[in-house]
């Protein structure tokens, strides 16, 4: 965790009963919006990329809440049922309403975490002001026939896809662009040369540095979308 974060436990009601997940909350003095950040499937909330991302977001005046999904909290490596993840997102939105009721709530997630937020929004389990996907996993690498996009048109809120141009999870780009175009209100911020974790070949950087560099992309979009009504979708 960064020095300015406070540790929390967020209660989550799962089909099998109640549990709780670890979380970390930070609110700068000049906070103007609240962004919850979910981790990817292979790494928890303390991944260095999220360290850098949260540091950059709070420096831009955004309150943040990052958290673990229940499978990781239980010490398992593989994600559990999607219903567990969407229930966790619902619990996170409730926690945001408790800890920062005066700030608009935005949902962001790295890869798997972002996809689970989109499912929660499409199913009406969360109602954020908007959603940000950091490397949306449209399909497994090399398997574009297994697209995970059928629910995206059901998301009513604005959506931002932050994508590396060399990400194998969205290759071919034509398929990805069609998925974005199917959304009610969505746009893409391209990271030139970036892979799935925004790493750029030939430019070795620590994951925390990459996360900090992505933060202004999110902050600028949230600020812009906070100041204008939902408009026509763009890609």
* Owning domain of residue 31: 6-226
Residue 231 covered by a domain: no
> What pLDDT score does 229 carry?
43
> What pLDDT score does 4 carry?
83
> What pLDDT score does 15 carry?
87
Residue 220 covered by a domain: yes
Residue 82 covered by a domain: yes
CATH number, residue 156: 3.40.50.1820
Instruction: Count structural domains, the chain.
Output: 1
Which residue numbers in the chain have pLDDT < 50? Answer: 228-235
Residue 232 covered by a domain: no
Query: Global pTM?
Result: 0.94
Residue 234 covered by a domain: no
Residue 216 covered by a domain: yes
Asked if 222 contacts 130 with a C-beta cutoff of 8 angstroms, the reply is yes
Residue 41 covered by a domain: yes
Residue 13 covered by a domain: yes
């Amino acid at each position: 965790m960064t020095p300015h974060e406070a540790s929390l436990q967020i209660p989550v009601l799962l089909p099998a009963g109640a549990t709780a997940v670890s979380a970390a909350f930070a609110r700068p003095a000049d906070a103007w919006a609240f962004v919850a950040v979910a981790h990817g499937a292979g790494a928890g909330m303390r991944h260095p990329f999220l360290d850098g991302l949260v540091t950059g977001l709070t420096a831009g005046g955004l309150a943040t809440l990052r958290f673990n999904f229940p499978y990781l909290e239980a010490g398992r490596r593989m994600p559990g049922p999607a219903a567990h993840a969407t229930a966790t997102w619902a619990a996170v939105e409730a926690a945001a309403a408790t800890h920062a009721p005066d700030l608009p709530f935005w949902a962001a997630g790295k890869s798997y975490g972002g996809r689970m937020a989109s499912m929660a929004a499409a199913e009406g389990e969360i109602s954020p002001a908007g959603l940000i996907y950091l490397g949306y996993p449209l399909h497994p690498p090399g398997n574009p026939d297994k697209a995970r996009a059928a629910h995206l048109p059901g998301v009513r809120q604005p959506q931002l896809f932050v994508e590396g141009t060399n990400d194998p999870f969205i290759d071919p780009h034509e398929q990805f662009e069609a998925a974005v175009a199917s959304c009610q209100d969505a746009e893409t911020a391209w990271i030139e040369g970036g892979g799935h974790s925004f790493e750029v070949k030939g430019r070795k950087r620590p994951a925390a540095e990459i996360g900090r560099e992505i933060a202004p992309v999110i902050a600028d979009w949230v600020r812009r979308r906070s100041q204008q009504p939902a408009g026509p979708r763009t890609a």
